[in-house]
């Protein structure tokens, strides 16, 4: 759906050049929810704004749904933009228009007949659950309701792609969850591709299929969300994952960890469970099978999009060979194993 190739963006302000995007390449598949996460200033906002050319790239190309956005003239760009919806952190609703007229706005721009536009608007308000607010002005709505209007407006022209620019960053956690659920629903109902940017790993966890981590103007990691959560490949990714899933082993635990004097080996291991394996009693069957000792130190279980995901920090005690075999057993059952310390 989106193909970004060697994209760079340099902002020039008097006496200074700022590299906002450094040779970014990325592919977003049709129908997926793709998240880009990064800290403020990492370049994620510039990246999403390049996709509908609100920001003109300095170098590189972007193909959206088969059309090279970066090569279009003004008129073509306007018609291409009609098929790319966008929602914003600050909602950006027109205060001069009622809810219904805000949703109708893109239809007016696209030149719809009024009766058709009205019909479509009613459908959209129904979809986002705001039919009763049609005649109300945005100032009377809550943040969550405003974003629902924003979503209805973004969907008006039946876009194939929805860009979400920090759409939940101004909302409280509960409202954020309800908006994310709505996004997930429309993604499934209309097979709409969604590209979102956020600094909140919870958003990635709740809705995204794949994630790209952006740091210092570069993409440092791209992958399935489950993969990145269970095995983050870079320090930046790790710190984002840690904001949601506590993976850090407390310092005292590592300090107290020492070799034994009875010849047994000790390993401090983190086991990550994904999907169905999270429901199986794999640790206890390992214990029975290999007769090693397991000391459970810390664990939690969570849900990533719709998949259960858990991790457990354990101390394994036993003869060195058996320990290795038991870890291989767990790996063989699809668990992610990370040896934190060895003695």
Partner 1 sequence: MAVIPWVEPWVIEKVLFATWETIYMVLSSAFLSYVFGLPLGVILVTTAAGHVLENKGVNSVLGSIVNATRSIPFIIFLILLIPFTRMVVGTSIGTVASIVPLTLAAIPFVARLVETSLKEIEWGLIEAALSMGAGAWQIVAKVLLPEAAPSIILGVAITTINLVGYSAMAGIVGGGGLGTLAYYYGYQRYEDTVMWVTVIVLIILVQGFQMFGDKFADKIANKRR
Chain contacts with partner 1 (rule: CB under 8 A):
52, 54, 77-82, 84-86, 88, 90, 92, 94-97, 105-106, 108-110, 137, 139-140, 153, 157, 163
- Cα gap 337→328, rounded to integer Å: 9
- Identity of the residue, 135 or 281, whose beta carbon is nearer to partner 1 in the bound complex: 135
Residue labelled with tokens 């860009």? 163
Nearer to partner 1, 152 or 304 (CB): 152
In the complex with partner 1, the residue whose CB is nearer, 54 or 264, is: 54
- Taking the complex as a whole, the smallest distance from the CB of residue 75 to partner 1 amounts, in Å, to 9
**In whole angstroms, how far apart are CA 29 and each of 35, 81, 210, 230?**
12, 19, 10, 22
Name residue 293's beta-bridge partners.
Answer: 317
* Minimum distance, C-beta of residue 93 to partner 1, in the bound complex (Å): 8
> Where do the H-state alpha helices sit in 291-341?
320-332
- The nearest distance, CB 202 to partner 1, in angstroms, is 24
Query: 230 Cβ partners below 8 Å, 6+ apart?
Result: 272, 274, 309, 311, 336
Minimal distance, residue 211 CB to partner 1, in Å: 23
Distances (CA, A) of 46 to 42, 178, 198, 293: 9, 26, 12, 52
Nearer to partner 1, 88 or 298 (CB): 88
User: Given the structure tokens 């169905």, which residue do they identify?
Assistant: 276
Instruction: Tell me the C-alpha distance between 63 and 55, whole Å.
Output: 15
Closer by beta carbon to partner 1, 153 or else 247: 153
Of the pair 166, 209, the CB lying nearest partner 1 is at 166
Residues 6+ positions from 10 with CB-CB distance below 8 Å: 17, 18, 19, 20, 58
Q: Calculate the dihedral angle through the C-alpha atoms of 126, 132, 136, 139, rounding to the nearest 10 degrees.
A: -80
- Cβ 121 to partner 1 shortest distance, Å: 14
Q: Least distance from C-beta 206 to partner 1, angstroms?
A: 24
């Amino acid at each position: 759906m989106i193909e970004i190739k060697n994209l760079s963006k340099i902002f020039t302000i008097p006496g200074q050049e700022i590299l906002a995007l450094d040779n970014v390449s990325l592919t977003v598949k049709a129908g997926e929810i793709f998240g880009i996460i990064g800290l403020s200033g990492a370049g994620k906002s510039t990246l999403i704004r390049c996709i509908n050319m609100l920001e003109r790239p300095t170098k590189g190309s972007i193909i959206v749904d088969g059309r090279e956005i970066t090569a279009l003239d003004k008129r073509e760009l306007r018609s291409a933009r009609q098929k790319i919806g966008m929602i914003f952190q600050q909602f950006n609703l027109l205060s001069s228009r009622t809810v219904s007229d805000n949703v109708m706005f893109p239809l007016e721009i696209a030149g719809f007949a009024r009766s058709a536009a009205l019909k479509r608007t009613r459908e959209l308000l129904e979809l986002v659950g705001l039919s009763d607010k049609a005649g109300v002005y945005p100032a009377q709505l809550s943040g969550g309701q405003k974003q629902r209007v924003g979503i209805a407006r973004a969907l008006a022209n039946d876009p194939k792609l929805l860009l979400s620019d920090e759409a939940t960053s101004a909302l409280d956690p509960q409202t954020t969850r309800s908006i994310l659920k709505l996004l997930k629903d429309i993604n499934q109902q209309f097979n709409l591709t969604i590209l979102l940017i956020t600094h909140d790993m919870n958003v990635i966890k709740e809705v995204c299929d794949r994630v790209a981590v952006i740091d210092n103007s570069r993409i440092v990691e791209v992958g399935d969300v489950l993969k990145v959560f269970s095995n983050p490949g870079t320090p930046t990714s790790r710190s984002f994952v840690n904001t949601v899933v506590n993976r850090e082993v407390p310092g005292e635990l590592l300090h107290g960890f020492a070799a034994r004097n009875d010849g047994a080996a000790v390993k401090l291991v983190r086991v990550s469970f994904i999907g169905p394996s999270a429901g199986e009693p794999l640790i206890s069957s390992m214990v029975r099978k290999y007769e090693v000792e397991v000391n459970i130190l810390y664990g939690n279980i969570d849900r990533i999009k719709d998949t259960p995901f858990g991790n457990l920090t354990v101390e394994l005690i036993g003869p060195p060979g058996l320990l290795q075999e038991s870890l291989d057993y767990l790996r063989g059952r699809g668990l992610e194993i990370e040896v934190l310390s060895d003695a």
